[in-house]
Amino acid sequence: MALLIQKFGGTSVGNIERIHRIAELIERTCQTGNQVVVVLSAMSGETDRLWRLAHDVTPHPDARELDVLLSSGERVTIALLAMKLRSRGINARSFTGRQVGIVTNSSHTRARIAKVTADPVRRALAEGVLPIVAGFQGVNERSEVTTLGRGGSDLTAVALAATLQADRCVIFTDVDGVSTADPNVVPTARRIPKLSYEEMLELSSLGAKVLQARSVEFAAKYSVPVEVKSSFQEGEGTLVTHEDVDMERAVVSGVTGDRNQAKITVVGVPDQPGIAANLFGAVAGASVLVDMIIQNVSHQDSLTDISFTVPRNDLARAMALVKRTANEIGARSVEVTEKIAKVSLVGVGMRSHSGVASRMFQTLAREKMNIMMISTSEIKISCVLDEENLNKAVQALHKEFGLESPRETGKIH
């Protein structure tokens, strides 16, 4: 008998008909002799609706109160599903974040999990009860409601799987798994059957919306096998697990495109030690994630230019800080480019295969695209391009690395 965590996102519980369908799905899983713990999101659109309500009340709603508000959405879905299952003769019971014992720090609206006791869930399972758990929410040490940020229900599911030492954490979503590229951009994109945690982490960070990056980190840390699959159709999904030494290893697993990018250039910066630290210290202090950084070689006048990218939706916040700091350090001006995007290749195979980067650059050159910035990790290469080139770049790279056909196992020319 396996213990499975089954997490359903907002679209999977978006209306009564869908709740009915996942009730059937859960019932089938139980009938095959598995123990199940269900984790749910709010109905799709509900969290956004509540968010808008709050911002209609006041432009800067208090974060503690925002969490009280936002956490109401999952109460609705857990109660409805528990009712549905009970009406079908299954002994289901709903649990809020507090009742499950998900204890977080006090960073409201983006709390981090500090501890998961899950004792009530263990007791419920021992009594033959099927627990239906509210995702996305917890309580701090003063028992005040907190939420885990966007995609936080994935994190709830993985954290529960880790605590309960579940055999697998299954994330049900509206796509059939993780794809080699966004199927809206690349019609020949395929589902990837198996990914390592590191690949999934890169893909999540690079804009693949299927699994929240923090959940992947958590899963890797506690070795929770995570499967991403469709709640609407039967069949295999994508299994995310530790890298398997024996497994047929693709050089490149997937291509991602990310439009949430903006470039800031600080022009005429005195080329002295500590200047960059000043600049990026200020931005990091505001929790803005700086991604790529380029510093030009010094001009003859000992002045340099520093360019870096930030998420486009953090641009206003970043600019306020950068302008002030630029002023303090005596830089000449600050320039912004919004119409950029990032295309990335991800694959553990890159570790053992050289030549991926040059093949990527050649492909983009052949398409006459100018590369503005480059960054690499062990298993990833990213290039910043004009935003208008993004889809063509993703398509060309998807083709170049043979991702439309079953995995290519190496042999870079």
* CB nearer to a second copy: pick between 63 and 290: 63
Closest CB 144 distance from a second copy, rounded Å: 8
Closest CB 292 distance from a second copy, rounded Å: 37
Question: What number of residues does the chain have?
Answer: 413
Closest CB 56 distance from a second copy, rounded Å: 5
Listed in sequence order, the residues at least 6 apart from 362 whose beta carbon sits closer than 8 Å to its beta carbon are: none
* CB nearer to a second copy: pick between 61 and 183: 61
For residues 320 and 328, the answer to whether their CB atoms sit within 8 Å is: no
Residues pairing with 130 in the sheet = 92
Residue 333 buriedness (CB in 10 A; 0-12 / 13-18 / 19+): exposed
Residues lying near a second copy in the complex (CB under 8 A): 16, 19-20, 50, 53-54, 56-62, 64-66, 68-69, 71-73, 75-76, 78-80, 82-84, 86-87, 93-94, 96, 99, 143-145
* CB nearer to a second copy: pick between 141 and 248: 141
Closest CB 39 distance from a second copy, rounded Å: 15
* CB nearer to a second copy: pick between 78 and 158: 78
Closest CB 342 distance from a second copy, rounded Å: 36
* CB nearer to a second copy: pick between 73 and 349: 73
**CA distance linking residue 124 with residue 37, whole number of Å:** 10
Closest CB 104 distance from a second copy, rounded Å: 17
Residue 382 buriedness (CB in 10 A; 0-12 / 13-18 / 19+): buried
Structure tokens at 85: 């299952």
Residue 91 half-sphere exposure, CB side, CA atoms within 13 Å?
7
* CB nearer to a second copy: pick between 133 and 220: 133
* CB nearer to a second copy: pick between 47 and 212: 47
Write the Ramachandran bin of 154: left for phi over 0, alpha for psi from -120 to 50, otherwise beta.
alpha
Closest CA to 192 of 167, 172, 175, 216: 175
**CA distance linking residue 50 with residue 134, whole number of Å:** 17
Closest CB 132 distance from a second copy, rounded Å: 9
**CA distance linking residue 39 with residue 132, whole number of Å:** 6
For residues 395 and 367, the answer to whether their CB atoms sit within 8 Å is: no
Closest CB 34 distance from a second copy, rounded Å: 23
Helix, coil or strand: residue 26: helix
Question: Cα 78 to the chain's mean position, in Å?
Answer: 23
Listed in sequence order, the residues at least 6 apart from 317 whose beta carbon sits closer than 8 Å to its beta carbon are: 286, 288
* CB nearer to a second copy: pick between 84 and 312: 84
